[in-house]
Amino acid sequence: MKNTPRRRLAVSLLSTALAAAAPLAAQAQGSMEGWQFEASLNGWFPAISGTTKFPSGASGPSIDVSMGDVVDALKFTFQGSFEARRGQWGLWTDLVYADFGATQQRSRNFSIGGGHIPVNVTAKLQLDVKSWIWTLAGVYGLKNDDEGTMDMLFGTRLLDMTNGLRWSFDGSPPNLLPPDGSAEVSDSYWDAVVGLKGRVRLGAERRWFVPFYVDVGTGQSDLTWQVNAGIGYQFDWGAVLATWRYLDYDFDSSSKLQGISFNGPVIGVSIRF
């Protein structure tokens, strides 16, 4: 595993997060009896950015496509999370599926072999991006009082992506590059993550709250980090919330994916039982 600057930064951030959480853990309240559960169903509507390298043939150069420039349509998305805890300890999981796709006519939002495309070449590009993002983590309660809650989490995250491209060139493509073709690349990345999540309660009745989530990790990616925060309202049966979620990945230069980020609003509902 390469000791890159991004990877060293990730390790430093992980250590800082753990050190900052230690004093809070020492002050945490005693355990509550019985199991508690919370299930959430959310709709996340992110924009996507990043670059994918598609092989054009056995001996031809790769076609590098910028997803943020080509994909402008979110076909389908699903996000759900579940938490089970007893006292200060618990288990939390979050699953996201997203399907993006679009077609562009006479596009120049690509490069060939990592270089510039000839001035007389454009292409019809049809790009489809499917992603699974799954986080599984243990949680430890650091704070739970009238002001709010805070949990430390430590676990793993999987990013599984399948990107498909169909192209048809207008003009004269470089040698060894077919004028029409298709390619698909897929890969999975596992990373260890650590972070904090919780709520800051507002108002006299403590019904309004600010939910927050932040994590950072490294492993098969050079660095991944995520932030999610917004506003929510607590009912007797559960809560509704609206947040903004940003998830970012940096990869090694040899990876099929040259960095990727998801960025957009989340609307959700959670039920406790």
Phi, psi of 221 (to 5 degrees): -95, 160
Q: Which domain holds residue 156?
A: 5-272
Q: Is the pLDDT confidence value at 1 over 70?
A: no
Q: Is the pLDDT confidence value at 30 over 50?
A: no
Q: What is the pLDDT of residue 209?
A: 97
Structural Rg of the chain based on CA atoms:
22
pLDDT, mean over the chain: 84
Phi, psi of 32 (to 5 degrees): -100, 150
Of the ranges 5-9, 10-14, 113-117, 233-237, the best mean pLDDT one: 233-237
Q: What is the pLDDT of residue 31?
A: 45
Query: Which domain CATH number covers 56?
Result: 2.40.128
Number of domains in the chain: 1
Lowest mean pLDDT among 37-46, 50-59, 251-260: 50-59
**Tens of pLDDT, residues 140-192:** 999 999 999 999 999 999 999 999 988 888 876 666 677 788 889 899 999 99
Q: Is the pLDDT confidence value at 32 over 70?
A: no
Q: What is the pLDDT of residue 151?
A: 97
